[in-house]
Chain A
């Protein structure tokens, strides 16, 4: 589904240049939930941008569905750390932005689907509310709906729970797993929270920083659906401490 092959990224900085990513190669299977964890500055958000076609690589190539990524492409939905809702649009119209902007869809046909997603996200009755009337967690769920409305086979998430409090974060994790299990699509999930990554993922890719490179890809062999109490079990803790040691081995916390 996604293949990165020897991706390098350097950008100019104060006369010299900074290497953000060095020789990053990995692939994600169809329908897989793959998390990318690493300290800040390891280029994990940059990876998301490269795969979405928002940023060209300096060397190497990224492929989605076998096709070389040369720019923004239709088969993707993105969720960022900020909900990035448009203040002048209601919940429904924020979700519909994706359809309005992408020329390939018939507008009206997607309104019922948007309403279904709103229901699924537990936002029933909030269709016509504006972003300022919603809590942070609700806003983020709207942005999930917006990423899902055109039913993309690939979902990219850049620390989507990063701005939420711990309670909401747990709830959202359970909700995301449920949503993903109902309709398995390939998910690339960037986070700095190792526990969150282990809880949600089929595989966890650990990165190290400056320059960002892949340290190890861990297979998470825990049964689904996972409940929050799994985080207290020994296998879960083993995965978390292994990933933490990988990151600490480089001297980063």
Chain B
């Protein structure tokens, strides 16, 4: 936080002392003023981006959780679905975004799709790791109780995977926003990505920065929402993690 305030102060001072014109690098005061004066415009476009990213992220979550369970449950899925996913992941999503515009037009759908495609992968990878990473002695203990394969998931593997799932979700939330913006760059009539291009075309660097600041805040907000849910959903893990940090730093 202190670092952020320091950075803004240096930025404002630098711009003033070096007399940099606004179209090259506007100072934070000018940017803040634009955020306020253009709030209606930014808000409207922000809602569009938030909708696309939110939907992409939600779909990613809904898709990733059962797929991860299936991958760990079934040897066949582990040997087919997972390698296929990793292979597809090597294709740069950003490069196929223009294709989606051709196929699906300028509406929100291709944006949601790109957003989804960027967000689901880290969620699957993290959750699969969490489902597998169970202490073998715990599994021995469970087997001695004649546990069923289904119970192994409901009572042990799935709860065990939740801390991993949440770190996947934090990454996924940020990537879903990136996906929506990139898709908007490729072709759209609204959204914050569109607004950035629009401002650039008119050499309105201050508006461009204003949108970037809002994007930054939006990303932070999405991240915080996931963190907040995590705190309630898996308090048993969050508290331990924080205690460890305290022990580590003192």
Contacts and interface: CB of A to CB of B under 8 A. Distances in A.
B16 interface: no
Residue with the greatest number of chain B CB neighbours at <10 A, chosen from A73, A87, A100:
A87
A interface majority secondary structure: loop
A76 B140 CA distance: 13
B140 A101 contact: no
A175 to B, nearest CB: 21
A59 to B, nearest CB: 22
Interface size class of A (residues with CB under 8 A): 20 to 34
B142 interface: yes
B94 interface: no
A38 to B, nearest CB: 20
B135 interface: yes
B234 interface: yes
Contacts of B156: 86
Interface in B202-250: 234, 236-237, 239-240, 243
Nearest to B138: A84
A72 to B, nearest CB: 5
B233 to A, nearest CB: 10
Given A78-B141, A80-B140, A101-B145, A87 B151 contact: no
A208 to B, nearest CB: 25
B151 A88 contact: no
18 contacts: A53-B144, A54-B144, A72-B145, A76-B144, A80-B140, A82-B137, A84-B135, A86-B155, A86-B159, A87-B236, A87-B237, A87-B240, A97-B155, A100-B155, A101-B145, A101-B146, A101-B147, A101-B151
Interface of B: 135, 137-138, 140-147, 151, 155-156, 159, 162, 234, 236-237, 239-240, 243
